[in-house]
Amino acid sequence: MAVPSNDAKSTKPAVPSEVKIIAGIEAFSGLVYLVGFLALLSITFSPILIFLSFLSFAIAYGLWHIQKWAWLLSLILSIFGAGSGIFVLAFTGASESSLFGGVPMIILDLIVVVMLLSKDVRRAFRV
């Protein structure tokens, strides 16, 4: 008589490489927010930076573990980030700080959106 396997990993979907990359980007963003918070701690207390840091780490964790809420939250925040970056760039013009700070963030947000909407990633998250 065959004994059924209780291997939990066999039913868990494989994490696509795109998801690993996006989770890494989210974790890096969390680290950047945390460093920004620590740098501003002596000047002013910024609870927004600590919240964004926590949120980025939570999204990275959720993405790595194929949680639908993390996929949706990452998609919403990336669309918002790209849209607001384009809006700010359109109204402030091209300056040195926007070209070295704002434009790479817009491009990164757009890459994340495209990766989140790819067929393999949507299949992994069942969306």
**Per-residue pLDDT tens digits for 98-124:** 666 677 888 889 999 999 999 999 999
The answer to whether residue 10 is domain-embedded is: no
The answer to whether residue 87 is domain-embedded is: yes
The answer to whether residue 7 is domain-embedded is: no
The answer to whether residue 34 is domain-embedded is: yes
Q: 66: phi > 0 → left, psi -120 to 50 → alpha, else beta; which?
A: left
The answer to whether residue 60 is domain-embedded is: yes
Q: What is the pLDDT of residues 3-20, one digit of tens each?
A: 555 555 556 667 888 899
The answer to whether residue 8 is domain-embedded is: no
The amino acid present at 82, given as its one-letter code, is A
82 within 8 A of 117, measured Cβ to Cβ: no
Nearest partner of 29 among 109, 89, 99, 83, judged by Cα: 109
Domain count, the chain: 1
Lowest mean pLDDT among 23-27, 33-37, 59-63: 33-37
Q: Note down the domain range covering 38.
A: 16-125
